[in-house]
Every structure is written in structure tokens, then in C-alpha cells.
């Protein structure tokens, strides 16, 4: 009898502890660092430094790296391979593998809608990485697939968009048989 | 002598009034004036007056959202410079690009900056999204702002895509041909969407004008308005930092 009551009390305590855990802020704050400060100048200074660093980076890159400018547009001469801008190459890669209705329309629409709905689908209230392993693994997988598709489309798709190890390195794009 | 000194004093006070009229606050020598600076300065007023140190830790935000916005500003400024020399017509566009590259003062540098900043913005906006996801910052009460952010990501891609056509070289025309061919596959609306984008059945003069107008007016305007809402929600929902 006594052990049964003890078990019940222990169970209630567990439920209570779990409830408290759920209601409590899930984040552990480092209070020594987390004081209130006036955002000017420290915060604004940080932004300023980031902006200056980015400006310097852009100017230096732009001095040494020329933006591409090929020959004038000619609707009569199709380059081989014809490629979309790099951020759409994942999509082009999908189009080369799956039926166009699926790869070109259904899939991107699905991904965009899914992305907007992410906050409503993810019911886990915690923001701790250790408590949202599934979400993080799924997202990492998604990003890895996107990056892999873009890399394949950029570097490993040569003439007629056929697989070519090191297309960019060895085989130039041709326009009507001649180099562009 | 006295008259001259009086006149000089008067001049100094006028100059003092001129400079102090620019800012609605004094030098931020104390916390109170610093707070008032953030509150009353037009450029700074989108920032909260007070923040927790953990919110603005660089290891948390990596400055990615701010850098994306900064790149948008860089693109606006460099884009304006390019607009002075660029005519969106198939008879002029390519020659204008050659001129920008070889004739116009700083034309090549500005065009390079515009190009690389555009690529950089696509990357930073993706990384910003990744950061927000990995820190779980989209959770209540920021669900709506995540949605706006997703639309802003799409607008960034569309801005970059419309800009891709403008040099009117072999790279642009065929990249846009491939890109717009994807739209064709949508059921029923597909061919119409493509026709609407191209202003015809193939990439041509009408396409160049449409892409130009969307690139310099339409998309930046929508993007800017959404950014205003995005930043406003960041302020109102509170910074997500302090993980």
C-alpha cells in the first residue's frame, strides 16, 4: 500500500517537474554577459564595422575579378551547354532528372510553401539545438541537397548537360561548334 | 575692434546653430544622451534604444541580416550609377556594357561591384535563413516574419535573375531562356506566364525592357516595403538573441 502511494507521489512529481520544465524559459542565459546596454554606440559601431569590412571586400574583389561579359546576345547561336544562373542550377539539375511538371513546378512550389509553413509545422517550443535534433538534421539535409545540386549543375554538367567530371576545368562552352 | 569681435562671435554662433540643427541631440557623452541619440536620430531610430549584450553578439547573428540589407544599399547605389549609362534596348544594351567596362570612369569597377554584390547577397540571404533556422528564431512570436523573410529570399533571387539578362551577352540571353523555359511547365498557366515574362515567344527587345523595369523599379520597391515590415517586426517581436 505504502509503496503504491509513494509511486503515485513520485509519478506526480515527475509530471510536475516535466510541466515546470516545459513552462520555464528553455534557454540558459549567461547573466554575466547579458546586461542591458545602450545600443548607441556599441551595437551601431558593430554594424558599421561589418559594413566597412564588406565594402572593402567588395572593392578588392571587384578590382581583381572581372564580371563576365561574353559576345553579344545572338538568338541564332545556342551555347552548349546552356545554363541558368548558378542559384537556379539546382532546379535545372532536377529538370534533367525528373518530369518537368514535377521538377519545374510542383517541387519548387512545394518547397516554398513548406518553408513558409515551417514555424507552424515545428511544434517543438524549445530553441536549444540539443532539443531539436530532428529539425536541425532535416534542415541540414535540405541545405546539403540544395548545395550539392548547385555544385553538380555548375561544375559537373558539360555538353548537352551530360555528366562531365570537371566540365569547368577542361571543356569550354561552345557556341555553334566554336568557342564562345 | 569690438565690432569685429562681435561679428566673429555672431558668425560662430550661426555656424554652431547650423551644425547643431543637423542632429536632434548633443554629443553622446552620457548614457542618457546616447539613448536619446538612438531614439531621435533618423538613421538610427530603427534600432532599439537599449539592447541586451547577448542579442548583438556577433557569434549569434554573424551580421548576416544586416549585411544582406547593406548589400541591398550597395546594389542600389552602384545600380543608379550604371543606369546613367545603360539603355535597355537590344540595339544599345551590349555596346553600353562595353562602354561601361572600357570607357566610363570607374564603370568597370562599379559594374564588378554590382555583379559581385548581387552574388554575395544571394549567399548572405541564404546564410541568414540558415542562421535563423538553426537558432530556432522563427518560433513564436516570429512566425510571420519568417514568412516575410522567405518572400524576401525569393525577391532577391528574382532581382538577381532579372539583372542577369541586362548585359545582353550570350551568357544572359541563354541563361534567361533556360530559366524562363522552366515556367513553361506549369499546368495551364505555364505558357501564359512565360509569354507574360518575355513579352513574346522568345527573349527579345520586349523581354529586355520588362526585365529592366522589374529589376530597377518593381522588385526593389516590393522588396523595400517588405524589408520595412521585416525590420519593424524584428523590433516589435524583440530580438531573438540570447540563446
Q: Which domains does chain A have, with CATH numbers?
A: 79-179 (1.10.287)
Half-sphere exposure of B27 (CA within 13 A, CB side): 1
The pLDDT score that the predictor gives to residue B125 is: 96
- Tell me if the bond preceding B166 is cis, omega within 30° of 0: no
| CA proximity to B66, closest of A54, A109, A79 | A54
- A130 part of contact set with chain B, CB < 8 Å: no
Distance between CA atoms of B88 and B162, rounded to whole angstroms? 12
Distance between CA atoms of B194 and B180, rounded to whole angstroms? 6
Contacts of B50 (CB under 8 A, 6+ apart): A36, A37, A38, A39, B35
Degrees, nearest 5: CA angle B200-B204-B209: 90
Q: What is the mean pLDDT of chain B?
A: 90
The pLDDT score that the predictor gives to residue A25 is: 53
Q: Which of A37, A39, A92 sits opposite B178 (nearest CB)?
A: A92
Distance between CA atoms of B162 and B75, rounded to whole angstroms? 14
The pLDDT score that the predictor gives to residue A23 is: 60
Average pLDDT over residues A40-51: 87
Find the closest chain B residue to A94 by CA distance: B182
Q: Which of A54, A118, A129 sits opposite B70 (nearest CB)?
A: A54
CA distance A39 to chain B (A): 5
Contact B178 A83 (CB under 8 A): yes
The pLDDT score that the predictor gives to residue A24 is: 57
Q: Are strands A36-38 and A79-80 parallel, antiparallel or unpaired?
A: unpaired
Find the closest chain A residue to B162 by CA distance: A85
Q: Give the residue, B21 or A173, on which the prediction is more confident.
A: B21
Distance between CA atoms of A100 and B37, rounded to whole angstroms? 56
- A112 part of contact set with chain B, CB < 8 Å: yes
Q: Give the residue, B47 or A119, on which the prediction is more confident.
A: A119
Helix (H, G, I), strand (E, B) or coil at A27: coil
- Tell me if the bond preceding B36 is cis, omega within 30° of 0: no
- B238 part of contact set with chain A, CB < 8 Å: no
φ/ψ bin of A177: left (φ > 0), alpha (ψ from -120 to 50), beta (otherwise): left
Q: Give the residue, B107 or A101, on which the prediction is more confident.
A: B107
* pLDDT digits 0-9 by tens, B114-147: 999 999 999 999 999 999 999 999 998 999 999 9
CA distance A16 to chain B (A): 24
Mutate to test the interface with B, among A67, A89, A95 (most CBs of B within 10 A): A67
- A56 part of contact set with chain B, CB < 8 Å: no
CA distance B72 to chain A (A): 12
Q: What percentage of chain A exceeds 90 in pLDDT?
A: 30
Strand partners, A174: A80, A179
* A87 interaction partners in chain B (CB closer than 8 Å): 122, 157, 160
Q: Give the residue, B35 or B85, on which the prediction is more confident.
A: B85
Contact B38 A78 (CB under 8 A): no
Average pLDDT over residues B74-83: 96
Average pLDDT over residues A36-64: 90
Average pLDDT over residues A134-139: 95
The pLDDT score that the predictor gives to residue A180 is: 67
Among the four given CATH numbers 1.20.810.10, 1.10.760.10, 3.40.50.300, 3.30.70.120, the one describing domain B84-243:
1.20.810.10
Q: Give the residue, B19 or A134, on which the prediction is more confident.
A: A134
- ipTM strictly over 0.85? no
Distance between CA atoms of A8 and A11, rounded to whole angstroms? 5
Report CA dihedral (B63, B68, B73, B76) to the nearest 10 degrees: 170
The pLDDT score that the predictor gives to residue B243 is: 47
The yes-or-no verdict on residue A32 having pLDDT over 60 is: no
- H helix runs in A24-106, sequence order: 39-64, 89-97, 100
Average pLDDT over residues B69-97: 95
The yes-or-no verdict on residue B210 having pLDDT over 50 is: yes
Lowest pLDDT segment from A25-34, A92-101, A144-153, A161-170: A25-34
**How many other CB atoms are found less than 10 A from the CB of residue A115?**
19
| CA proximity to B54, closest of A35, A46, A25, A47 | A35
Q: Give the residue, A177 or A81, on which the prediction is more confident.
A: A81
The yes-or-no verdict on residue A99 having pLDDT over 90 is: no
List the strands of the sheet with A174-175, edge to edge.
A79-80, A174-175, A178-179
Degrees, nearest 5: CA angle A92-B114-A78: 40
Put simply, the chain B residues between 6 and 65 with a CB less than 8 A from any chain A CB are: 28, 31, 34-35, 37-38, 41, 44, 47-54, 56-58, 63
Helix (H, G, I), strand (E, B) or coil at B202: coil
Helix B170-183 to helix B189-198 angle (10° resolution) is 150
Amino acid at each position: 500500500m505504502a509503496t503504491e502511494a509513494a509511486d503515485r507521489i513520485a509519478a506526480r512529481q515527475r509530471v510536475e517537474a516535466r510541466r515546470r520544465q516545459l513552462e520555464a524559459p528553455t534557454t540558459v542565459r549567461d547573466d554575466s554577459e547579458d546586461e542591458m546596454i545602450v545600443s548607441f554606440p556599441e551595437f551601431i559601431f558593430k554594424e558599421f564595422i561589418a559594413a566597412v569590412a564588406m565594402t572593402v571586400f567588395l572593392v578588392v574583389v571587384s578590382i581583381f575579378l572581372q564580371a563576365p561579359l561574353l559576345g553579344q546576345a545572338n538568338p541564332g547561336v545556342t551555347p552548349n551547354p546552356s545554363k541558368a544562373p548558378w542559384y537556379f542550377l539546382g532546379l535545372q539539375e532536377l529538370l534533367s532528372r525528373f518530369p518537368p511538371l514535377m521538377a519545374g513546378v510542383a517541387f519548387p512550389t512545394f518547397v516554398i510553401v513548406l518553408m513558409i509553413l515551417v514555424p507552424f509545422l515545428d511544434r517543438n517550443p524549445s530553441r536549444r539545438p540539443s532539443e531539436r535534433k530532428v529539425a536541425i538534421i532535416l534542415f541540414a539535409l535540405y541545405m546539403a541537397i540544395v548545395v550539392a545540386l548547385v555544385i553538380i549543375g555548375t561544375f559537373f554538367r558539360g555538353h548537352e548537360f551530360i555528366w562531365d567530371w570537371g566540365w569547368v576545368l577542361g571543356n569550354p562552352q561552345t557556341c555553334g561548334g566554336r568557342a564562345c | 575692434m569690438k565690432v569685429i569681435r562681435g561679428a566673429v562671435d555672431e558668425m560662430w554662433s550661426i555656424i554652431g546653430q547650423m551644425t547643431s540643427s543637423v542632429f536632434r541631440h548633443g554629443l553622446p557623452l552620457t548614457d542618457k544622451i546616447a539613448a536619446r541619440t538612438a531614439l531621435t536620430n533618423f538613421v538610427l531610430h530603427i534600432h532599439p534604444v537599449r539592447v541586451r549584450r547577448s542579442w548583438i553578439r556577433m557569434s549569434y547573428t554573424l551580421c548576416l541580416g544586416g549585411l544582406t540589407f547593406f548589400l541591398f544599399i550597395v546594389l542600389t547605389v552602384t545600380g543608379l550609377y550604371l543606369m546613367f549609362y545603360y539603355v535597355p534596348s537590344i540595339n544599345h544594351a551590349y555596346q553600353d556594357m562595353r562602354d561601361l567596362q572600357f570607357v566610363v570612369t570607374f564603370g568597370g569597377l562599379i559594374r564588378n561591384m554590382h555583379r559581385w554584390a548581387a552574388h554575395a547577397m544571394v549567399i548572405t540571404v541564404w546564410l541568414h535563413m540558415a542562421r535563423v533556422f538553426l537558432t530556432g528564431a522563427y518560433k513564436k512570436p516570429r512566425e510571420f516574419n519568417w514568412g516575410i523573410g522567405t518572400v524576401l529570399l525569393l525577391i532577391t533571387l528574382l532581382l538577381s535573375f532579372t539583372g542577369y539578362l541586362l548585359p545582353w551577352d550570350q551568357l544572359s540571353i541563354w541563361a534567361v531562356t533556360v530559366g524562363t523555359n522552366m515556367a513553361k511547365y506549369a499546368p495551364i498557366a505555364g505558357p501564359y506566364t512565360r509569354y507574360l515574362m518575355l513579352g513574346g515567344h522568345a527573349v527579345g527587345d520586349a523581354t529586355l525592357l520588362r526585365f529592366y523595369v522589374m529589376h530597377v523599379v518593381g522588385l526593389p520597391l516590393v522588396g523595400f516595403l517588405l524589408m520595412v515590415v521585416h525590420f519593424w517586426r524584428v523590433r516589435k517581436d524583440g530580438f531573438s538573441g540570447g540563446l
